[in-house]
Amino acid sequence: MEKFTVHTGVGVPLRRSNVDTDQIIPAEYLKRVTRHGYEDALFSAWRKDPDFVLNQPRYSLASVLVAGPDFGTGSSREHAVWALQDYGFKVVLSSRFADIFRGNAGKGGLVAAQVEESVIERLWEVLESHPGAEITVDLVECRVKSERIDEPFVIDEYVRWRLLEGLDDIGISLKHEVAIEDFEARRPEYLPTTA
């Protein structure tokens, strides 16, 4: 996984709460068996509307999504993270994330940074009054910056460390091979198997 330290990019205001995973990527696109190529799928229903914010040319280079509360509710589909990344997003800012989405984002290297709702409001104002404005997301200092804004964000400390180091989770767990074997030797006999 690529290391993430500081990212600066165009922000896009998504003035919606409860952006669920079916909106981020409809089930139709989940039939694919690949890990990439989901840029067309992102918000595909909303993108049919020419006025939808992502269709406005001034946000065309956006890489920081600024969304309302409860972003990523719904299904466990990791495709939601992939679609955001394939489209070009490196960061999503929200005042609240759904748990599974947040976990998936961390695994995939998408920064899901939680800020106060008032900060989201101020960012929306900046992005709407100055379309194309950039936002800097500093994972080293855990701060989000834009015009006259310099605020902290919250991200799980362990996820932050992994993103900063660009580490792969499976590799980390496999270092515990001996502990896993010990645990397996202690499991009760009555537990079921599928084989």
Partner 1 sequence: MAKTLAEKVWESHVVARAEGEPDLLYIDLHLVHEVTSPQAFDGLRAANRKVRRPDLTMATEDHNVPTMDIDKPIADPISRTQVETLRRNCAEFEVPLFSLGNVEQGIVHVVGPQLGLTQPGMTVVCGDSHTSTHGAFGALAFGIGTSEVEHVLATQTLPLKPFKTMAVTVNGKLPDGVTAKDLILAVIAQIGTGGGQGYVLEYRGEAIEALSMEARMTICNMSIEAGARAGMIAPDETTFEFLKGRERAPSGQAWDEAVAAWRELATDDDATFDAEVIVDASSLSPFVTWGTNPGQGLPLSASVPDPQDFDNDADRTAAQRAIEYMGLTAGMPLRDITVDTVFLGSCTNGRIEDLRAAAQVLEGRKVADGVTMLVVPGSVRVRLEAEAEGLDQIFTQAGAQWRQAGCSMCLAMNPDKLTPGERSASTSNRNFEGRQGPGGRTHLVSPQVAAATAVTGHLSAPADLVNA
Residue 93 in contact with residue 136, Cβ under 8 Å?
no
Nearer to partner 1, 6 or 172 (CB): 172
For 94, what's the count of Cα atoms within 13 Å in the CB-facing half-sphere? 25
Residue 142 in contact with residue 114, Cβ under 8 Å?
no
**Closest approach of partner 1 to the CB of residue 26, in Å:** 6
- Give the Cα separation of 171 and 157 in Å (integer): 19
Residue 42 in contact with residue 86, Cβ under 8 Å?
yes
**Closest approach of partner 1 to the CB of residue 150, in Å:** 25
* DSSP for 107-156, written as a single string: HHT-EEEE--HHHHHHHHHHHHHSTT-EEEEETTTTEEEETTEEEE-B--
Nearer to partner 1, 59 or 71 (CB): 71
Binding site for partner 1 (CB under 8 A): 17-18, 20, 22-23, 26-28, 30-35, 45, 68-70, 73-79, 81, 96, 98-100, 103-104, 107-108, 156-158, 169-170, 172-174, 176, 179-180, 183-184, 187-195
**Closest approach of partner 1 to the CB of residue 56, in Å:** 19
Nearer to partner 1, 150 or 169 (CB): 169
**Closest approach of partner 1 to the CB of residue 115, in Å:** 16
**Closest approach of partner 1 to the CB of residue 78, in Å:** 4
Length of the chain: 195
Nearer to partner 1, 50 or 185 (CB): 185
Nearer to partner 1, 10 or 87 (CB): 87
What is the token pair recorded at 183? 């645990």
